[in-house]
Amino acid sequence: MINARRYLPPLPWLSAFEAVARLGSVTRAAEELDLTQGAVSRQIAKLEARLGQHLFLRERQRLTLTPAGAAYARELRGALATIASATLSLVSNPKGGLLNLAILPAFGTYWLAPRLPRFMAAHPGVTVTLATRTHPFDFKAEAFHAAIHFGGRDWPGAGFLKLMEEKNVAVAAPALLETCRVETPADVAALPRLQIESRKGAWRRWFTAHGLAPDDRVAARFDQFATMIAAARQGLGAALVPRFLIGADLDSGALKALPHAAAGRFGSYYLAWPETGANYPPLVALRGWLEHEVGQTA
């Protein structure tokens, strides 16, 4: 792997070059940087030596950017502006900043999003960007400060905060239950069943937990909880769903819990983050807030 820092010249050299390129004068650049003209000229000469090419054409008392120098100045100006902006943001708002968070679609929609305004109100300096991911990824390959993870503490090189265990419940639409008498767990075997891809074997576990022969036959498979819940509402089949996703459906009667509906626990939700970024202030704020929120809903 190429070490990019090998190609990073000292910042004073870059500042001197950018100032001369922008102002068109060593004298004016020296005044802006509070340096002597000789110091500015020496820094530019060192930069050209490091790069192995001329950045300016020197004709009598005038300096003119070479094509390569002009292109380099444009790129460098943006980079220096980014550094200046980051510094100003840190000084003016040391606990704020950008927080890139990867979320699971259903968890983000049904649990996190309704609560997120409270985090924003408590931490107005933090800007949160959310992106959905359904599978673990490499923190080194994607620039996320943290991710909502389902499963176990099995993300390499990551720290974890356990949020909650997933408590599942077996449900079906009233219209479906009218077509088939369901009074015991054994009666559920007669219903068409829906399966989420990330919880393979869930129905087999459910039947086993109720002392019945394992049965993992399903009528349809889905890759998102939201789609499976919508299908269950329409009577396509019974579904095993995390309780926190369907509270409103159970309250309204759009879905009904099946007899002995509790389906056990298949894993837990965690906040995961790269260990190297554990002390990033916006992430520290999010961890503390999530701990409080989970405590309130436990």
Measured in residues, the chain has a length of: 298
Q: What is the CA radius of gyration of the chain?
A: 29
Number of H helices, E strands in the chain: 11, 10
Beta strands in the chain (DSSP E): 56-59, 62-65, 97-103, 126-132, 146-151, 158-172, 194-196, 220-222, 239-242, 256-274
Helix axes 11-23, 26-33, angle to 10 degrees: 130
Residue 181 has pLDDT above 70, yes or no: yes
Residue 234 and residue 192 in contact, taking contact as beta carbons nearer than 8 Å: no
Greater confidence (265 vs 237) lies with 237
How far, in Å, CA of 144 to CA of 154, rounded? 17
How far is 93 from 224, CA to CA, in rounded Å?
38
Angle at 285 between CA 268 and CA 283, to 5 degrees: 65
Distance CA 220, CA 229 (A): 12
Q: What is the spatial distance between Cα 169 and Cα 232, in angstroms, rounded to a whole number?
A: 13
On average, the pLDDT of the chain sits at 87
Give CA–CA dist 109/216, Å, rounded: 28
Give the tens place of pLDDT for each residue, 194-223. 999 888 888 888 888 888 888 878 999 998
Q: What average pLDDT does range 152-174 have in this prediction?
A: 90
| Residue written as token pair 């396509």 | 236
Residue 261's pLDDT is: 65
pLDDT confidence bin for 2, thresholds 50/70/90: very low
CATH 1.10.10.10 spans which residues of the chain?
4-92
223-246 residue pLDDT tens: 889 999 999 999 999 999 998 899
Strand 146-151 vs strand 256-274: parallel, antiparallel, or unpaired? antiparallel
Q: Which CATH number fits domain 4-92: 3.40.220.10, 1.10.10.10, 3.40.470.10, 2.40.100.10?
A: 1.10.10.10
Query: Any idea which fold 166-266 has?
Result: D-Maltodextrin-Binding Protein; domain 2 (3.40.190)
Q: pTM for this one?
A: 0.64
pLDDT of residue 156: 84
Sorted by sequence, the CB contacts under 8 Å of residue 244 that are 6+ apart come out as 110, 111, 164, 167
**95 band by pLDDT with thresholds 50, 70 and 90:** low
Q: Give the class (CATH, top level) of 97-164+269-297.
A: alpha beta
Cα(18)–Cα(15) distance, integer angstroms:
5
pLDDT tops 60 at residue 4: no
Residues of the chain with CATH 3.40.190.10: 97-164+269-297, 166-266
